[in-house]
Amino acid sequence: MKALVYHGPEKKSWEEKPKPTIVLPTDAVVRITKTTICGTDLHIMKGDVPTVTNGRILGHEGVGIIEETGTSVVNFKKGDHVLISCITSCGNCSYCKKAMYSHCEKGGWILGNTIDGTQAEFVRIPFADNSLYPIPAGSDENALVMLSDILPTGFECGVLNGKVKPGDTIAIIGAGPIGLAVLLTAQFYTPSEIIVVDQDENRLAVAKAFGATYTINSAESDVFAKVLGFTNGKGVDVAVEAVGIPATFEMCEAIVTAGGHIANIGVHGKSVNLHMETLWSKNITITTRLVDTVSTPMLFKIVQAKKLDATKLITHQFKLDEIIKAYDTFEHAATEKALKVILTA
Ligand SMILES: [Zn+2]
Ligand SMILES: [Zn+2]
């Protein structure tokens, strides 16, 4: 089969690899019908994720058709249409028992990381019963690809951890696909104001179209002053960090109001300054999280009911064997006006 293979920083190729087989009785092999590229894959290509080694097939999102199941898989059979979760979970370990699937002792984020992933014609999914979701007939596959990772990540790490409540003021720092997923899912709770901050005018325009009350271009204006201006000098109840650099985390520290929440989503490669000299008395909560995908069944129902149009996040379509071109487009998101790209086998 063909697959997108990582060969060290900045090196990848679309090449022939052996078709995966059942290794453990809890496995399934899935024929990929649609997959996508994540911002995390770009971090991997820069060499930021040392657990990904030479020869690894990338990708942790997608939908497909079950090709083969191990003898102990009970929920799925050959021919079933399935959504692949970016998080693999055994369902039995101490973390899975707490619904913290991201830290499953035998799984977690392993696809396209420590085991071969979904940017291929076929993928082996361990613990298939817990790590796949059935897709009803007639569903829009493109929309469901957004449920593998970005919608549950935005919702769990940003909205749930940020404790968004009706009437809250929210700032989302970073209007990439994850920041926009926060913007879409925060609206379940009817916040009074959502401020979106980015340096890319196109993404800010998209944010406005997706329901942002205000947008701020941080390359051109003083974010702190603008946020205070929009919030009667108070700052926001919830500041969501969706970039992963020190400057944007510190921006959240500066704009959060007393009693507020800072919800980190960004993948950080460097330490950040925690300004305890100003925060010690402010009753704030800071959260971090790797998505657990506990909200996937709920989000699945909302997307199926068309209460949330996940396809709004998709800007480009490619064939699976055009994946090198798709990476190029996604890497140049600002000039290409790219959000999520869909690859169809
Ligand atoms: Zn991802
Ligand atoms: Zn587990």
For the domain that residue 140 is a member of, what is the CATH number?
Answer: 3.90.180.10
On whether both 134 and 10 belong to a single domain, the answer is yes
Q: From the CA of 90, how far away is ligand 2's center (Å)?
A: 4
Any idea which ligand is nearest the CA of 98? Answer: 2
Any idea which ligand is nearest the CA of 62? Answer: 1
On whether both 37 and 144 belong to a single domain, the answer is yes
pTM of full prediction above 0.85: yes
On whether both 168 and 249 belong to a single domain, the answer is yes
On whether both 273 and 172 belong to a single domain, the answer is yes
Q: From the CA of 85, how far away is ligand 2's center (Å)?
A: 14
Q: From the CA of 62, how far away is ligand 2's center (Å)?
A: 21
On whether both 281 and 296 belong to a single domain, the answer is no
**Residue where a domain terminates, one of 287, 302, 334:** 287
Q: From the CA of 155, how far away is ligand 2's center (Å)?
A: 22
Residue 268, pLDDT score: 87
Q: From the CA of 36, how far away is ligand 1's center (Å)?
A: 9
On whether both 91 and 189 belong to a single domain, the answer is no
Q: From the CA of 101, how far away is ligand 2's center (Å)?
A: 6
On whether both 144 and 69 belong to a single domain, the answer is yes
Q: From the CA of 38, how far away is ligand 1's center (Å)?
A: 4
Q: From the CA of 19, how far away is ligand 1's center (Å)?
A: 23
On whether both 7 and 141 belong to a single domain, the answer is yes
Q: From the CA of 148, how far away is ligand 1's center (Å)?
A: 8
On whether both 36 and 65 belong to a single domain, the answer is yes
Domain that holds residue 49: 2-149+292-344
**Residue where a domain terminates, one of 287, 314, 332:** 287
What is the count of structural domains for the chain? 2
Residue 260, pLDDT score: 98
On whether both 298 and 283 belong to a single domain, the answer is no
Q: From the CA of 29, how far away is ligand 1's center (Å)?
A: 20
Any idea which ligand is nearest the CA of 26? Answer: 2
Any idea which ligand is nearest the CA of 113? Answer: 1
On whether both 160 and 183 belong to a single domain, the answer is yes
Q: From the CA of 128, how far away is ligand 2's center (Å)?
A: 12
Q: Amino acid identity, residue 28?
A: A
Residue 92, pLDDT score: 96
Q: From the CA of 54, how far away is ligand 2's center (Å)?
A: 26
Any idea which ligand is nearest the CA of 293? Answer: 1
On whether both 322 and 238 belong to a single domain, the answer is no
Q: From the CA of 98, how far away is ligand 2's center (Å)?
A: 9
Q: Residues whose CB is under 5 A from ligand 2 (ion)?
A: 90, 93, 96, 104
Any idea which ligand is nearest the CA of 176? Answer: 1
Residue 118, pLDDT score: 98
**Residue where a domain terminates, one of 260, 287, 314:** 287
Range list of H helices, 162-281: 177-186, 201-209, 223-230, 246-255, 276-279
Give the CATH number of the domain where residue 219 resides: 3.40.50.720
Residue 120, pLDDT score: 98
Any idea which ligand is nearest the CA of 119? Answer: 1
Residue by residue, pLDDT tens for the chain (345 residues) are 999 999 999 999 999 999 999 999 999 999 999 999 999 999 899 988 999 999 999 999 999 999 999 999 999 999 999 999 999 999 999 999 999 999 999 999 999 999 999 999 999 999 999 999 999 998 999 999 999 999 999 999 999 999 999 999 999 999 999 999 999 999 999 999 999 999 999 999 999 999 999 999 999 999 999 999 999 999 999 999 999 999 999 999 999 999 999 999 998 888 999 999 999 999 999 999 999 999 999 999 999 999 999 999 999 999 999 999 999 999 999 999 999 999 999
Q: From the CA of 100, how far away is ligand 2's center (Å)?
A: 8
Q: From the CA of 154, how far away is ligand 1's center (Å)?
A: 11
Q: From the CA of 131, how far away is ligand 2's center (Å)?
A: 10
